[in-house]
C-alpha cells in the first residue's frame, strides 16, 4: 500500500483521499489547492495544510518560460508528478494531462493517464467540454479518477479568442451548467472552474455532488486553487484579477502558504475584488 494513502498516527494529519474530499464538501469545509512542481515545495505545502497539490501544465510558463501551456509534454508532466509525489505525504495529488495527450481518443487518454498515475498522481485533470464525456467515462470505469476543467480552458485559448471570462451570457451559463452535470454523470469526481462569474460558480457548486474548485470562479466553490508562483508574487508580469499576493505582510514563504490556507478555509479569499 502506498504511503500516500496511509493515515498518520493518532492526532496527526491524515491522508487526503477522495472520500475525504467528498466529506469536506458535505460538511462545507473549504478545500485548499495550490499548484506544485517539485519535492521541496510538495513537502512544504503538505506541512502547511494544503489539501490538494496540482501539478499544473502551468509549469510550462512558470518553470520553463514558455508563452503558454501548449508546448508542455507528457515527459515533463510525468517527471514533475514523480517529483511532487516523492515530497508529499498527506495531500491529494492531481496531475494535468497536457495538450495533445488525450484529445485523440479515450484509449490515448488512458495510456497517458496511466503514466501519470504510475508516477504518483491520485487523479488526472482534463480540459474540455461535452466532447470530453466519453473519455471521462472511459477513464473512470478503468479506475482512474478524473477532474474535469471547465470555463476558461487555457489549452483552448486560441479557439476561444484569449483569456476571457466564460459563462457571462444566459445561454453560455446554461451550457456550462449542463456540461458540468454531464461531466459528473460521466464519472468526473471533481470539477474545476476557471474564470466564470461568481454567481454561476455558486449555482453549479450547489447543484453538483462532487467537489468544485474555483480559480476566478467565486468564493462559493467548494475549494480554491492558485498558481503557486502567482500567490507568492514571484512570477513576473501583470497578475490576473483573481490572484492575491499572499507574501504581503509575511516574513516567509511558509507563512504565506499558511495564510492562503486560512483564507480559503475561512472564506476571506477570494474577496469581492478577486471575483467576476
List all residues 6 or more positions away from 81 whose beta carbon is below 8 Å from its beta carbon. Answer: 55, 93, 95, 116, 119, 120, 121
Judge whether 96 is annotated as a binding position.
yes
Q: Report the C-alpha gap between 36 and 15 in whole angstroms.
A: 17
Residue 57 annotated as binding site: yes
Do 48 and 257 form a contact (C-beta atoms < 8 A)? yes
C-alpha cell at 276: 467576476
Annotated binding-site residue? 266: no
Q: Is 230 annotated as a binding residue?
A: no
Report cis status (omega within 30 of 0) of the bond before 270.
Answer: yes
Q: Distance between CA 259 and CA 226 in Å, rounded?
A: 13
What is the phi-psi region of residue 196: left when phi exceeds 0, alpha when psi lies from -120 to 50, beta otherwise?
beta
Coil vs helix vs strand at 137: helix
Instruction: List residues with catalytic annotation.
Output: 194
273 assigned to a ligand binding site: no
Instruction: List the binding residues for Mg(2+).
Output: 57, 96, 127
Instruction: List the binding residues.
Output: 57-58, 96, 125, 127
Instruction: List the binding residues for 3-methyl-2-oxobutanoate.
Output: 57-58, 96, 125
Amino acid at each position: 500500500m502506498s504511503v500516500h494513502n496511509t493515515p498518520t498516527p493518532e492526532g496527526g494529519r491524515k491522508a487526503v483521499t477522495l472520500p475525504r474530499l467528498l466529506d469536506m464538501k458535505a460538511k462545507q469545509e473549504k478545500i485548499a489547492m495550490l499548484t506544485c512542481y517539485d519535492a521541496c515545495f510538495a513537502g512544504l505545502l503538505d506541512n502547511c495544510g494544503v489539501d490538494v497539490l496540482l501539478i499544473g501544465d502551468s509549469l510550462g510558463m512558470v518553470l520553463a518560460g514558455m508563452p503558454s501551456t501548449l508546448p508542455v509534454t507528457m515527459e515533463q508532466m510525468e517527471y514533475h508528478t514523480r517529483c511532487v509525489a516523492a515530497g508529499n505525504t498527506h495531500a491529494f495529488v492531481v496531475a494535468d494531462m497536457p495538450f495533445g495527450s488525450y484529445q485523440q481518443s479515450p484509449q490515448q487518454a488512458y495510456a497517458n493517464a496511466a503514466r501519470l498515475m504510475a508516477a504518483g498522481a491520485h487523479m488526472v485533470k482534463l480540459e474540455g467540454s461535452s466532447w470530453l464525456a466519453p473519455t471521462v467515462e472511459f477513464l473512470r470505469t478503468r479506475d482512474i479518477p478524473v477532474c474535469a476543467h471547465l470555463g476558461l480552458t487555457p489549452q483552448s485559448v486560441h479557439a476561444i479568442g484569449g483569456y476571457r471570462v466564460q459563462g457571462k451570457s444566459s445561454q453560455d451559463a446554461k451550457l456550462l451548467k449542463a456540461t458540468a452535470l454531464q461531466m459528473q454523470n460521466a464519472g468526473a469526481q471533481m470539477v474545476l472552474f476557471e474564470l466564470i462569474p461568481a454567481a454561476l460558480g455558486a449555482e453549479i457548486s450547489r447543484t453538483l455532488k462532487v467537489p468544485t474548485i474555483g480559480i476566478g470562479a467565486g468564493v462559493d466553490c467548494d475549494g480554491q486553487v492558485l498558481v503557486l508562483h502567482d500567490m507568492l508574487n514571484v512570477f513576473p508580469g501583470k497578475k490576473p484579477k483573481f490572484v492575491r499576493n499572499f507574501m504581503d505582510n509575511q516574513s516567509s514563504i511558509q507563512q504565506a502558504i499558511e495564510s492562503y490556507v486560512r483564507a480559503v478555509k475561512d472564506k476571506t479569499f477570494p474577496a469581492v475584488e478577486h471575483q467576476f
